[in-house]
A and B are shown apart, each in its own frame.
Chain A
């Protein structure tokens, strides 16, 4: 089955700086890669996603890049703000006809004032 590795587990950046979170996946059949943000005690919420036929996608301060050959994708947050502090999860669709998502273990992003 699919395996998703996520790094780093904790990331601390100064407010206004950029943050990058990286994930790798194992199943070349995966074709959908969402990113979720989860604040303490809340549900995961989708912030951006990318499909395997696209190399990069942007939404204001957030961007995701995908390298299908290397099987890795990354989340980039620019001009970080205090409200960006949360746990971020990457995920990959399960290939081979199975359904659902395989998640990374999460990155705790801390924005230092």
Chain B
């Protein structure tokens, strides 16, 4: 398995609080992605990064922000968590652009109560 670690693996938080999820890779891959997975929706892209400090929005970016200050770390922040953001969040990495194979982290299960 590719060296991708997500933390925390599980989190319960209250509505209105900020939450930060971390993705750490040891593969030195340039591209990193955050997806969310919900029943009946498959995986949907939230944000992605194509280099240090270079990020862009995905399909479902509202309410989320990201930062990448080092190649190995990609942070996802929920600025003010809502119940609709209860989901499983997956980080993915790829060596080249999105039209090359992507490897996923173990996922973070986030519950907003």
Chain A residues proximal to chain B, CB less than 8 Å: 1, 6, 31-32, 34, 36, 42-46, 49, 51, 89, 91, 93-94, 98-106
- Assuming the contacts A44-B43, A44-B90, A89-B43, asked whether A101 and B102 have C-beta atoms less than 8 A apart, the reply is yes
- Inter-chain contact B100/A100, CB cutoff 8 Å: no
Residues 95-113 of B, flagged 1 when their CB comes within 8 A of A and 0 if not, give 0011111111111000000
Given A99-B97, A104-B42, A105-B41; 12 other pairs, CB 8 A cutoff: A31-B99, A43-B90, A43-B105, A43-B107, A44-B104, A94-B45, A94-B98, A98-B98, A99-B31, A99-B50, A99-B98, A103-B35
- Assuming the contacts A102-B45, A105-B42, asked whether A49 and B59 have C-beta atoms less than 8 A apart, the reply is no
Docked CA distance A24–B107 (Å): 27
Chain B residues proximal to chain A, CB less than 8 Å: 31, 33, 35, 40-45, 48, 50, 56, 58-59, 90, 97-107
